[in-house]
Amino acid sequence: MKLKLGARGSPLSLAQAKLVTESLAGLAEVELVVVKTTGDRLSAAGSPIEWKGDFTRELDEALLDGRIDFAVHSMKDVPTHVPDGLLLAAVPVREDPRDVLIARPRRNFESLPRGARVGTSSPRRRAQLLAARPDLEVLEARGNVDTRIARLAEGRFDAIVLARAGLSRLARLEEVSEVLSPGLVLPAIGQGALAIYARRDDRSTLSVLDALDDAASHHEAEAERSLLSTLEAGCKAPVAGLARVNNGSLTLSAGVFSPDGSSALREESAGPVSEAVSIGRDAGQKLLGRGAAALIEAART
């Protein structure tokens, strides 16, 4: 069977596509189709990303008009609303979802000097870094992984914070100074997971992609995306969540933060994996009951 796989042209997206292609060896012959997205253009120009769909819209369109048979995304880039006619077909085994610190010279978070310049483009990371260390100067760091590490080497920052999963897929884990615990920096929704989308009515493709789906990773993604949907938070809101499956149970740690890190709300919900969506909704409602909506609105404005 021959299938066309759509992916963005970024180094990370191409690495993800290669991983998926290798996983389908023996099941399908895969042709890579590179699709340039609005998010790619904005990122290349150093412009802020206003909507998660900027990284997925053109791939969704290519799927719906039949130019590709399936698409691979970073789960954290995918909006919670699934376009009509499409389906989250598979979530492969999830990479380590934690964030990491890369510092020059190599040192851990606690040993960064007072006033150290830390680069990140994520409001979520910024809020949690400042909550832990108000003395830090947290600066915007845009561009892909290679660009951010290059700017660190140039001396624009003393450290940067990135997702461990992306560095792993790019074979750059040797750059890491410290893996940050979720107690310090709770990861983004879906971080470390891949989202594979296909047309809902394309039964032959869905049958092949089913071999890639990891049940535990899929349930974790469902819980985290349900949390995000309940909070009605966009990509600018400092919202975090991490679901973990263990022996048939799922535990979700969730957080909403003020942009400056001065306020932090954390909650936890748990239950059987079959209730992943309900667990995410429960955590979100707990946070809303404690004033999360005001923190989310503050981030938007």
Considering the domain architecture, whether residues 40 and 82 belong to the same structural domain is answered as: yes
What integer pLDDT is reported at residue 25 of this predicted model?
95
Considering the domain architecture, whether residues 222 and 174 belong to the same structural domain is answered as: no
Considering the domain architecture, whether residues 56 and 114 belong to the same structural domain is answered as: no
Has 96 been annotated as catalytic? Answer: no
Residue 278 belongs to a domain with what CATH number?
3.30.160.40
Considering the domain architecture, whether residues 88 and 2 belong to the same structural domain is answered as: yes
pLDDT tens by residue, 258-299: 999 999 999 999 999 999 999 999 999 999 999 999 999 888
pLDDT tens by residue, 41-51: 756 656 655 55
Residue 85 belongs to a domain with what CATH number?
3.40.190.10
Considering the domain architecture, whether residues 104 and 88 belong to the same structural domain is answered as: no
**β 194-199/264-272 pair status:** unpaired
Considering the domain architecture, whether residues 17 and 163 belong to the same structural domain is answered as: no
Where residue 80 falls (left for φ over 0; alpha for ψ -120 to 50; beta otherwise) is: alpha
Considering the domain architecture, whether residues 72 and 120 belong to the same structural domain is answered as: no
Considering the domain architecture, whether residues 56 and 140 belong to the same structural domain is answered as: no
The domain boundary residue, chosen from 179, 204, 229: 179
Q: Which residues of the chain have pLDDT under 50?
A: none
Considering the domain architecture, whether residues 277 and 255 belong to the same structural domain is answered as: yes
pTM of the model: 0.92
Considering the domain architecture, whether residues 237 and 271 belong to the same structural domain is answered as: yes
Considering the domain architecture, whether residues 19 and 39 belong to the same structural domain is answered as: yes
Domain count, the chain: 3
What integer pLDDT is reported at residue 40 of this predicted model?
66
Residue 79 inside a domain? The answer is yes
**Structural domain of residue 288, as residue ranges?**
214-301
Q: Which of 54, 60, 77, 99 is catalytic?
A: 77
Considering the domain architecture, whether residues 86 and 208 belong to the same structural domain is answered as: yes
